[in-house]
Structures are given as structure tokens and as C-alpha cells.
Homo-oligomer: A and B are copies of this chain.
Amino acid sequence: MEYDQMETYLKAIGDQKRLLILKFLAKEALRICEFTDLLEMTQPAISQHMRKLKHAGLVWEEKRGRWTIWSLNTQHMQYPVLIHLLDLLPEPRRSIGRLIAEGKK
């Protein structure tokens, strides 16, 4: 792996919000509209983070109807490292289960 690729990778995961997104995706695939509730961020902000993660090859997108379903790319060369790092981070305050309970999913 070259230095510029490594930089792209580390810059992609070197952001609190994106780490949180990845932490969620490590559990299950999610849609943008679910992230807006989970992260309490606007939809364009999420979209832009996803674009950055996609550019680094960390996530996949699957268009289904009006939704875009995002999931972790488990084939990424540094996927094991990513999982290791995510495991060090605490569980998010808001959870997907909470969303379901609130009838948002």
C-alpha cells in the first residue's frame, strides 16, 4: 500500500462522526434517513460523509427503490484493522433499537 492510499484511508476514518457511522454499520446496513435520526445530523451532511467513506472504499451502496442502503465493505484490505479500532469505541448513546421503539423504523 502506498503512502497516499494510507493517508486517504486514515483521513476517511479519522473523524468522530464517520467513526460513529462505521460503528453503526459494523452492526447492520443502514439508510441515510436512519443516520439522520441516529446521529442527529442533516441529510446532506450524512450524504457527504458517505461519499467520503465510499471514496476510500470502506462502504458499499445499494440502490433499492428510493432508498440507498449502505453497508461496510468487509473485503477492504484494512477491514480487520477497522473492526479492531471500532471495538475500542463505546456503544453509541442512541441505538437502532431505540429508533424501532420510537416507531421510526
Interface residues of A (CB under 8 A from B): 1-4, 6-7, 10-11, 13-16, 19-20, 81, 84-85, 88-90
Contacts and interface: CB of A to CB of B under 8 A. Distances in A.
Chain A interface helix/strand/loop/mixed? helix
A58 to B, nearest CB: 13
27 contacts: A1-B88, A2-B89, A2-B90, A3-B16, A3-B19, A3-B20, A3-B89, A3-B90, A4-B16, A6-B16, A6-B19, A6-B85, A6-B88, A6-B89, A7-B14, A7-B15, A7-B16, A7-B19, A10-B10, A10-B13, A10-B15, A11-B11, A11-B14, A14-B14, A81-B81, A81-B84, A81-B85
Contacts of A1: 88-89
